[in-house]
Homo-oligomer: A and B are copies of this chain.
Amino acid sequence: MAIIVQKYGGTSVGSVERIKAVAERVARARAGGAQLVVVVSAMAGETNRLFALAEQLSSRPDPRETDVLVATGEQVSAALLAIRLQELAVPTVSFLAHQLKLVTDSRHGGAQIKAVDSTRLRAALESGRVPVVAGYQGIDSDGNITTLGRGASDLTAVALAATLKADICEIYTDVDGVYTADPNICPHARRLSHISYDEMLEMAGLGAKVLQLRSVELARRYNVPLVVRSSFVEGEGTRVSEEEAAMEDVLVSGVTLDQNQSKITLAGVQDRPGLAAKIFGPIAAAGIVVDMIIQNAGAEGRTDITFTVPRADLRRALELINVVAGEIGATGVMHQEQVAKVSIVGVGMRTHAGVAARMFAVLASESINIEMIATSEIKVSVVVNAKYGELAMRALHDAFLGEGGGARPGA
């Protein structure tokens, strides 16, 4: 019998009426003959409400206790959905992390899953019940409650799907799939019917918010096929799976825009071995994620190093870099608070040359100056002045994915 894991996000269970709709959907899917496991997020707004309570009581709420607090959001959703399913005569049982033995490390607020014991889930399935699992939460080896990070109910769903060797993991959300670009910015953006894990990883990492990055990584590692679909309207959604030969026919499957980056330049640095470690060591130690790094060799053995950090971390990064600049005798530290990173993503780049060159030509034709460039096997990213971000995205989407530009989108 096929096993399906369904995950419903916060807006999908955001009210009593929405929970009723989800229960109907689960009942229909079960009537179709599959063994179902359901994972739920907290009701929309609930996690923020709980965090806000904690912040009223402490300037730095204790991480262990914050996890005890916010884990209740998913517990409430799981219980309410189970209550509704019972009302529809669907046999069900809710599970919390401690009941499933979903064990993580002890990093509160961003714990990593170490093991899931599928015994109770399998027993429930075999007795004909639908397990409803509270997402986002785990327990560490001492039985302390942990949480997996914002958006990590996706991760719970994928982990359970991997453990149960499920046939598919369906992620229900408030959009009807993964788009070639943000439709709010690109009017021609279209839903993709199919995308590879690698492309989805690049898109998620680049700011497309449909799927949580770590859940896509986990799905790829265990080869769990994903479907992203709306719980509000019927539709096929977007399937995320291993790369298939046909995918390479399309050069670019998506264009992304990240407007939450800042740029820092450390100028006139004496170039010598160990320099990069000296500069980026303190920043890494502070938990700041550096994205793009460029080093330009200059005259007289001196060089400029430019890199980007999340805008929220700019102040802290500058404080650290100013200290380092003094130590290594740099001639100056400059920064730009808001820059835009625009990227094109597609597995077709692996086999087709000239994609980057075409991208640069498109931007040049719009007179947009490129400040930084970074490439991977299936991605090209450029940093441009923040005010040109949306224009760059639209121009690239129209060039690569506009009318007649791409073959894969849309069902």
- Chain A residues within CB distance 8 Å of chain B: 16, 19-20, 50, 53-54, 56-59, 61-62, 64-66, 68-69, 71-72, 75-76, 78-80, 82-84, 86-87, 92-94, 96, 98-99, 143-145
CB pair A83–B98 under 8 Å, yes or no, is no
Copy number in this complex? 2
CB pair B98–A79 under 8 Å, yes or no, is no
Instruction: Identify the closest chain B residue to A70 (Cβ).
Output: B79
B-chain residues with CB within 8 Å of residue A76 when the two chains form the complex: 50, 53, 69, 72
Taking A50-B76, A61-B83, A72-B76 as known contacts, 19 extra A-B pairs with beta carbons closer than 8 A to each other, sorted by chain A number, are A16-B56, A16-B57, A20-B57, A53-B76, A53-B80, A54-B80, A58-B84, A58-B86, A58-B87, A65-B79, A65-B86, A65-B92, A65-B94, A66-B83, A68-B75, A68-B94, A69-B79, A71-B75, A98-B98
B-chain residues with CB within 8 Å of residue A86 when the two chains form the complex: 58, 61-62, 65
Instruction: Identify the closest chain B residue to A23 (Cβ).
Output: B57
B-chain residues with CB within 8 Å of residue A94 when the two chains form the complex: 64-65, 68
Whether A78 touches B83, Cβ cut-off 8 Å, given contacts A20-B57, A56-B16, A57-B16, is: no
30 of the cross-chain contacts (CB-CB < 8 Å) are A16-B56, A16-B57, A19-B57, A53-B76, A54-B80, A57-B83, A57-B84, A57-B87, A58-B83, A58-B84, A58-B87, A59-B87, A61-B86, A61-B87, A62-B83, A62-B86, A64-B93, A64-B94, A65-B82, A65-B83, A68-B78, A68-B79, A68-B96, A69-B75, A69-B79, A71-B75, A72-B72, A72-B75, A72-B76, A98-B143
Tell me, in angstroms, the Cα distance from A99 to B78 when the chains sit together: 20
Tell me, in angstroms, the Cα distance from A15 to B83 when the chains sit together: 28
Tell me, in angstroms, the Cα distance from A183 to B19 when the chains sit together: 45
B-chain residues with CB within 8 Å of residue A96 when the two chains form the complex: 68, 145
